């Protein structure tokens, strides 16, 4: 599998554009570069059964599963809708990410 340079980073607000969680928004908590996947808080929830141990009670644990980076888009800072990511070089020579819809820089 070829590794793609991701335009989405940890801490970005993203919108799910396809799949069972389409339309949901969340923050990227982890980026898995080798598999082209991201983990988004509150999206693609998975239930895992855990046996009780001496330290934990067990039961059903709900966690976020990774989702393919092609299924999410960056949320526009102004409107909150999905947008593409572009790059722009500032006057001082610094390269920043820019939302294509509104033209605002992404922190």
User: What residue segments make up the domains of the chain, in order of their start?
Assistant: 13-76
Band (5; pLDDT cuts 50, 70, 90): confident
pLDDT at residue 1 is higher than 70: no
Domain 13-76, second-level architecture: Roll (2.30)
Query: What is the model's pTM?
Result: 0.83
Angle at alpha carbon of residue 57, lines to 56 and 58, rounded to 5° = 95
pLDDT digits (tens, 9 = 90+) for 57-102: 999 999 999 999 999 999 999 999 999 999 999 999 999 999 999 9
pLDDT at 71: 96
Q: What is the mean pLDDT of the chain?
A: 93
């Amino acid at each position: 599998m070829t590794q793609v340079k991701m335009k989405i980073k940890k801490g970005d607000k993203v919108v799910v554009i396809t799949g069972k969680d389409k339309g949901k928004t969340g923050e990227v908590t982890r980026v898995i570069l080798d598999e082209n996947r991201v983990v988004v808080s509150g999206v693609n929830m998975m239930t895992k059964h855990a046996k009780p141990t001496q330290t934990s009670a067990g039961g059903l644990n709900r966690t976020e599963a990774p989702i393919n980076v092609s299924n999410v888009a960056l949320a526009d800072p102004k409107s909150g809708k999905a947008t593409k990511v572009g790059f722009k070089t500032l006057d001082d020579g610094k390269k920043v990410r820019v939302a294509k819809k509104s033209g605002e820089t992404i922190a």
